[in-house]
């Protein structure tokens, strides 16, 4: 994981939407002449001739005073344009992005917030946990490669964090199934690789009988496929 801090006056009016808010990164070919000024409007006008590669990333931290945001990039071994950019990023580089998007609103009346995801979802899980109030209860499962990828996740809520380690042959679905759901009303947020999200969604809806509106599944990436848009 690489944490990249992006700052500048252009972030002065960045309007945070909280929790798992995300931005769309635009990667243009290096030789392209970008419109001036570069705004969402002018970028859109050029879309038919110059279409950037677009990738979604979570805002891990927003500081409205210093006009900074942090983005945590998984440096996955397949190295797509976004991971590649992050692996090479150095102070002074520019990042073009649009956003943020609206974000997940945890249900305050739920007895438990269940947060499940792989390392691409770790920034969102970390941000959601940070926003939960004292008195809330959250159980999070985060799949990572090995113990070195664990992070300290702060929260005022009562939290139970389980690190699911691929180096020990563990997988999110197996660990979540083995534990079962906590007792009480549960609201679940699930993100990560498409097949894993699908399997967990099926488990939560069909086997655990959670209502559809209590489960928020999102595909963050697709194994073997460059994310399209
Ligand atoms: C709302 C939202 C928020 C997201 N937030 C984050 C975030 O904060 N941090 C983050 O790292 N990712 C995040 N992602 C996931 C990220 O957008 C994708 O992983 C994206 O595909 C990475 O782009 P890339 O250019 O590096 O690789 P791509 O060009 O998209 O893919 C190239 C190859 O790499 C593989 N690949 C892509 N992502 C991964 C991965 N995570 N692990 C292993 N293999 C992979 C693909 O299957 C493909 O074979 C988020 C996605 C969404 C939809």
- Sorted by where each starts, the structural domains of the chain and their CATH numbers stand as 2-98 (2.40.30.10), 112-221 (3.40.50.80)
Atom of ligand 1 nearest to the CA of 123: 8
In ligand 1, the atom with minimum distance to the C-alpha of 223 is 47
Report yes or no: 57 and 85 within 8 Å, Cβ to Cβ. no
**Mean pLDDT value across residues 71-82:** 93
CA 220–ligand 1 middle distance (angstroms): 6
The 8 Å CB, 24+ separation contacts for 159-167 are 159/129, 159/132
Ligand 1: centre distance to CA 83 (Å) = 8
Atom of ligand 1 nearest to the CA of 124: 8
Residue 44: per-residue pLDDT = 87
- Comparing C-alpha atoms, which of 173, 222, 213 is closest to residue 193? 222
**What is the strand order of the sheet 61-63 is part of?**
2-7, 68-73, 61-63
- Summarised one tens digit per residue, pLDDT across range 124-180 is 999 999 999 999 999 999 999 999 999 999 999 999 999 999 999 999 999 999 999
Is the beta carbon of 166 within 6 A of some atom in ligand 1?
Answer: no
Three-point CA angle 144, 208, 173, nearest 5°: 20
pLDDT in tens, 193-208: 999 999 999 999 999 9
**Is the bond into 100 cis (omega within 30 degrees of 0)?**
yes
1 C-alpha to ligand 1 centroid (Å) = 12
User: d(Cα 129, Cα 214) in Å, to the nearest integer?
Assistant: 17
**Residue 229 scores a pLDDT above 70:** no
pTM for the full predicted model: 0.96
| Residue from 83, 191, 222 to probe ligand 1 pocket by mutation (most atoms less than 8 Å from CB) | 83
pLDDT score at 49: 85
Parallel, antiparallel or unpaired: strands 2-7 and 68-73? antiparallel
- Give distance in angstroms: CA of 120 to centre of ligand 1: 7
Q: Quick one: what percent of the chain has pLDDT higher than 70?
A: 99
Ligand 1 centroid distance, CA of 109 (Å): 32
Please give, one letter per residue, the 3-state secondary structure of the chain.
Answer: CEEEEEECHHHCCCCCCCCCCEEEEEECCCCCCCCCCCCHHHHHHCCCCCCCEEEEEECCEEECCCCEEEEEECCCCCCCHHHHHHHHCCCCCCCEEECCCCCCCCCCCCCEEEEEEEHHHHHHHHHHHHHCCCCCEEEEEEEECCHHHCCCCCCCCEEEEEEEEHHHCCCHHHHHHHHCCCCCCEEEEEEEEHHHHHHHHHHHHHHCCCCHHHEEEEEEEECCECCCC
């Amino acid at each position: 994981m690489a944490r990249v801090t992006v700052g500048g006056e252009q972030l002065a009016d960045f309007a945070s939407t909280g929790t798992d808010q995300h931005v769309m990164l635009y990667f243009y070919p290096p030789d392209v002449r970008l419109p001036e000024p570069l705004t969402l409007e002018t970028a859109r006008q050029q879309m038919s001739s110059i279409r950037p590669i677009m990738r979604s990333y979570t805002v891990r931290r927003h500081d409205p005073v210093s006009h900074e945001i942090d983005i945590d990039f998984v440096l996955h071994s397949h190295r797509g344009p976004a991971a590649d950019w992050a692996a090479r990023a150095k102070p002074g580089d520019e990042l073009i992005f649009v956003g943020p998007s609206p974000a997940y609103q945890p249900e305050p009346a739920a007895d438990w917030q269940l947060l499940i995801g792989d390392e691409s979802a770790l920034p969102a899980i970390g941000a959601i946990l940070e926003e939960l109030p004292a008195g809330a209860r959250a159980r999070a499962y985060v799949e990572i490669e090995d113990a070195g990828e664990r992070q300290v996740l702060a929260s005022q809520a009562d939290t139970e964090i389980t690190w699911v380690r691929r180096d020990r042959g563990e997988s999110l679905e197996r660990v979540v199934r083995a534990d079962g759901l906590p007792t009480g009303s549960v609201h679940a947020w699930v993100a990560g690789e498409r097949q894993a999200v699908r399997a967990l969604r099926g488990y939560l809806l069909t086997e655990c009988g959670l209502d559809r509106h209590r489960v928020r599944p999102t595909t963050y990436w697709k194994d073997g496929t460059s994310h399209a848009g």
